[in-house]
Every structure is written in C-alpha cells, then in structure tokens.
C-alpha cells in the first residue's frame, strides 16, 4: 500500500470525458419512434397507466406519435406530468410503466415508453412557447418552499389555476436534484435548467433564490403572508456511518461529490481516487460508483450489507454498474475506517448474514479494502424543521418526515407538503411531481371554496 493517497484529475484522455458523460439513452429519431409506437397494443384499461405514478394516458400519447401528432402526444403527457421530459430520462421504467407493458409476456421486450415520452416532450420543448395558458387570476398568493420537482410541479399547476406563486429556494440554481443529484449522463447538456425555463413560461411564478426556510424566513412568516403554503424541500441531511475514522480526509458524502460533479464546467479538472469504495445499495450508491469509474477511477467497489435482491437500486441499475466495471460486494458491513497522516487508506468490513430470527448480524469474520476515496451512500434524511418561532412545532411528523394525507395536506389547515420530505413519497422524481400536482389541486379546491 502506498503512503500517499492517489487522487488525481485528468485520469483519462480529453475526448473520453465527453463520451463517458453523454446521453446514456440516445433519443429516438422520427422513424424509430414510428416503429416503436406501432408495437403498442393500445390496451383498454392499460396496466401501464396504473403503473405510472402520474397516471399519464400512455396508449393515447403513443397512438398520437404513431399518427405523427407529436404535439398532441406531448400535451397528453404534460397534462399529467409537467416534468415529462425529466421523467422520460430518469424514471426507472423497468419497475414502473414498462414493467406493466403486456408486450413483456409475449416477447420479454416492453414498448420503450420512456424513449417515446422523450421523443414527444423534446419536440414540445424545442418548439418554443408553452402548451398551457393560465386561468383568470384569482388574486390568491401561494408560497412554495423548494424549486425541486415537487415544488416546481406544484407551482406550475397552481399558476395554471390562476394563483400567484412565489417559490423560495435555498440554492442559487433551481431544479433540486435534477440539477444537483441525478447522474450526469441521464440529464446532460443543461437539460434541468431548460426544463425549469419551460415550466416557468406558463407565467405567474416568481422564484426567489438563496432564500432558506429556517434561515431567511419561518413557516409562521409564510402562513401570515400567503393564502397557502407548499413545502417541497426534499432531504437536506445525509446519514452517517457512526464509525471511527469517518472524519478522515477522503471520506465523502456521495451526494456532495455528485453535486460537485454536476456543477463542474470541466470534468477533466475534477480529482478522483484510483481506488474507490462506495457504501450503500440504492440509486445514489450506483450513481457515485458509475460516475467515479467514468471519471477514470481504476478500481471501484460497492459494498452492501445484504443481498442483491434487498438493494433499493433496481436489477437494471445493478447490471448497469457491473457493465461499467463496478464490483459489487454483498453481505458485508463497514466496521472501521483506517488512515495515515489524516487521510483514509482502507476500510475494515465484517461479513454479515441473517440470524435465525431473520435479523442482520455480523459473522465476526473481517476483511479490508484499500481506498483513496470512500463514499457514503446509505441514505438521506430530512433536516429537522426549525422549531424556534417557526410554527413548525405544530406540524405533525411521521417519523423523520412530514405527515400528509392523500391530498398531501399536513396537520396545518393551510400547509401542504410533498416529494422526498413527506413519508408517503417514494424518493423518485416522478413521485415528487405527482405529489406537487395532487397538492396543487387540493390547494386550488381549498382556495376556491
């Protein structure tokens, strides 16, 4: 083992960066879209509609593509999901709409719903203008906290209903994890910002950046100044391992490094280790593992404490990581991070198994993995809502998340919430979009009653 950590920028030839971080699923051209759309059976009571969290009428939009009515197809999609462009790129379709496609039973090859959705929404966004017009103004004002998928979806639907919306966003850029979190090769070329621009084109939405709930204003301020409030601030906290050595240099939160990568203008200048260890089993773990490999790391090992079937990353994502050269090691948990001169050098893991009662237990056998960089990806959590003079003490929680009913209404009569910060959400972009939409419809009913 060398004494110095091997962390360096520019591990790859210049041309490799553009290739490694370009569109992972290139778009369909017109001919391919027509052929793919012709594979749809246009099922009555189509199971794919039920499987889409936003309930897009999938057979209807695919039929429109098959008759070259691309704008009509986009309208069908955007009616239910204003971020249909992002979702077409990031939805794990293999466990959502495409899993339900009846073509699976005959050919084991579903209609490529995500790619067709992208074909239609890209055309709508490229066309310019906006497919919706606002209802007559109601004079009601709604505050939305967070410009991520939940907040933007809620803001758009409220604006359509004629309400005036102010979005208060802590960061300097909008889009939430579409801008700072999703893997770079899923949403390349500034797509997140283009989509924000597309959404705002409806009118009636003002975004105020660098405004954080709990720092610059309180929930009580919003309740006083607005007719209704929507909370869509996602999960700002990151779970720690609680182990010795966690504060060594070279040990990072995966989401922080991904945000840095997403904001980098020149990936050649982003330093990455030769040996990487990732701890976790979800989306974030897969994304950091693949992206560090694509930045030129030589050896990337993802370690998860249970078996493959228990990973929250889908089978498709696990396979994608392996195809990219990531090694996945199951049934081991970290016990200690060791270092030299203040920098991590290796991690000690203990093998795990299920005991007689089905609980995870260490076997007592250990091994270690060398690492120049270690990424923690064991989950995010909501930062506690500020209590002092914020009125947040009245907001009922469900565990660490905000409790909401099926309309995404909180325990406060004028406050709604959705996306990752509520307990019912699934930590998917499409689920956050649906939450924002449901909340906006409920707020609209409430403001008009």
Ligand X SMILES: Cc1cc2nc3c(=O)[nH]c(=O)nc-3n(C[C@H](O)[C@H](O)[C@H](O)COP(=O)(O)OP(=O)(O)OC[C@H]3O[C@@H](n4cnc5c(N)ncnc54)[C@H](O)[C@@H]3O)c2cc1C
Catalog residues that contact ligand SF4 under the rule CB under 6 A.
52, 54, 56, 58, 81, 87-88, 91, 93, 96-97, 113-114, 117, 430
Report, in Å, the least distance between residue 89 CB and ligand SF4: 9
**With CB cut-offs between 5 and 8 Å by kind, which of ligand X, ligand SF4, none does residue 278 bind?**
none
What are the distances in angstroms from CA 313 to CA 234, 333, 425?
19, 18, 16
Q: What are the backbone angles phi and psi of residue 361, rounded to the nearest 5°? A: -140, 150
- The interface partner of residue 81, options being ligand SF4, ligand X, none and the CB cut-off 5 to 8 Å by kind, is ligand SF4
Stretch that binds ligand X, among 37-45, 57-65, 123-131, 141-149 (CB under 6 A): 141-149
| Phi, psi for residue 375 in degrees, rounded to 5 | -115, 125
Least distance in angstroms from the C-beta of 139 to ligand X: 25
Give whichever of 56 and 422 is closer to ligand SF4, judged by the CB atom: 56
Site of tokens 């064991």: 378
Q: What gap in Å lies between CA 132 and CA 178, rounded to an integer? A: 23
Give yes or no for a contact between 134 and 404, defined as CB atoms under 8 angstroms apart.
Answer: no
- DSSP H helices, 303-363, are 315-323
- Interacting partner of 114 out of ligand SF4, ligand X, none (Cβ under 5 to 8 A depending on kind): ligand SF4
Cβ 79 to ligand SF4 shortest distance, Å: 12
* Residue 213 binding ligand X, by CB under 6 A: yes
Residue of the chain from 325, 427, 441, 446 that contacts ligand X (CB under 6 A):
427
- Choose which of 40, 88, 91, 158 interacts with ligand X (CB under 6 A): 91
Residue whose tokens read 């008759």 = 67
422 DSSP 8-state letter: B
Site for ligand X in 323-382 (CB under 6 A): none
Residue 86 beta carbon to ligand X: minimum distance, rounded to whole angstroms? 8
CA 55/CA 119 separation, integer angstroms = 19
The Cα–Cα gap between 253 and 382 comes to 15
Look-up of token digits 């695919």: 62
Residues from 218 through 257 that contact ligand X (CB under 6 A): 232-234, 236, 255
Q: Which residues pair with 301 in a beta bridge?
A: 277, 327
The binder of 334, among ligand SF4, ligand X, none, by C-beta within 5 to 8 A per type, is none
Q: Please give the size of the binding site for ligand X, defined by CB under 6 A.
A: 37
Q: Quick one: DSSP state of residue 310?
A: G
In the complex, minimum distance from the CB of residue 120 to ligand SF4, in angstroms, rounded to a whole number? 10
Write down the least CB distance from residue 258 to ligand X, Å.
5
The terminus-to-terminus CA distance of the chain in angstroms comes to 70
Question: Does 420 interact with ligand X (rule: CB under 6 A)?
Answer: yes
Cα dihedral 119, 437, 218, 382 sign: negative
Q: What whole-number distance in Å separates Cα of residue 437 and Cα of residue 216?
A: 26
Strand partners of residue 276: 300, 373
Site for ligand X in 142-181 (CB under 6 A): 145-151, 168-171, 176-177, 181
Measured from the CB atom, the residue of 369 and 421 that comes closer to ligand X is 421
Residues that bind ligand X (CB under 6 A): 90-91, 145-151, 168-171, 176-177, 181-182, 186, 212-214, 232-234, 236, 255, 258, 283-284, 287, 419-420, 427-430, 432
């Amino acid at each position: 083992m060398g004494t110095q950590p091997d962390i360096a920028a520019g591990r790859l030839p210049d041309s490799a960066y553009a290739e490694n971080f370009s569109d992972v699923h290139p778009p369909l051209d017109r001919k391919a879209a027509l052929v793919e759309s012709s594979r749809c059976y246009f099922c009555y009571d189509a199971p794919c509609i039920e499987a889409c969290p936003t309930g897009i009428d999938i057979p209807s939009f695919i039929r429109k593509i098959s008759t070259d009515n691309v704008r009509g197809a986009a309208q069908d999609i955007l009616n239910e999901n204003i971020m249909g462009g992002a979702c077409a790129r990031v939805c794990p379709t293999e466990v959502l709409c495409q899993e339900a496609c009846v073509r699976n039973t005959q050919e084991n090859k579903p209609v490529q719903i995500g790619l067709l959705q992208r074909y239609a929404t890209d055309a709508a966004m490229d066309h310019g203008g906006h497919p919706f017009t606002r209802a007559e103004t109601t004079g009601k004002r709604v505050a939305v906290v967070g410009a991520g998928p939940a907040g933007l979806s809620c803001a758009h639907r409220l604006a359509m209903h004629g309400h005036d919306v102010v979005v208060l966003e802590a960061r300097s850029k909008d889009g939430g994890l579409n801008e700072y979190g999703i893997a770079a090769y899923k949403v390349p070329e500034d797509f997140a910002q283009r989509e924000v621009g597309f959404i705002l084109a409806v009118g009636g939405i003002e975004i105020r950046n660098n405004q954080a709930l709990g720092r610059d204003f309180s929930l009580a301020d919003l309740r006083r100044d607005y007719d209704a409030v929507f909370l869509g601030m996602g999960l700002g906290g990151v779970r720690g391992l609680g182990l010795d050595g966690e504060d060594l240099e070279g040990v990072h939160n995966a989401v922080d490094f991904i945000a840095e990568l997403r904001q980098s203008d020149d990936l050649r200048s982003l330093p990455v280790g030769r040996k990487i260890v990732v701890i976790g089993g979800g989306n974030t773990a897969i994304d950091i593992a693949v992206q560090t490999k694509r930045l030129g790391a030589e050896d990337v090992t993802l370690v998860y404490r249970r078996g493959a079937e228990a990973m929250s990353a889908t089978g498709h994502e696990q396979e994608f990581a392996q195809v990219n050269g990531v090694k996945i090691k199951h049934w081991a948990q970290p016990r200690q991070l060791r270092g030299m001169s203040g920098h991590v050098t290796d991690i000690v893991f203990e093998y795990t198994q299920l005991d007689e009662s089905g609980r995870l237990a260490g076997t007592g056998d250990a091994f270690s993995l060398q690492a120049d960089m270690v990424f923690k990806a064991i989950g995010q959590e909501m930062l506690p809502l500020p209590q002092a003079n914020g009125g947040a003490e009245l907001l009922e929680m469900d565990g660490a998340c905000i409790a909401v009913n099926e309309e995404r209404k909180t325990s406060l009569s004028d406050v709604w919430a959705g996306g990752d910060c509520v307990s019912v959400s699934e930590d998917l972009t499409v689920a956050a979009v649906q939450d924002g939409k449901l909340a906006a419809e409920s707020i609209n009913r409430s403001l008009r009653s």
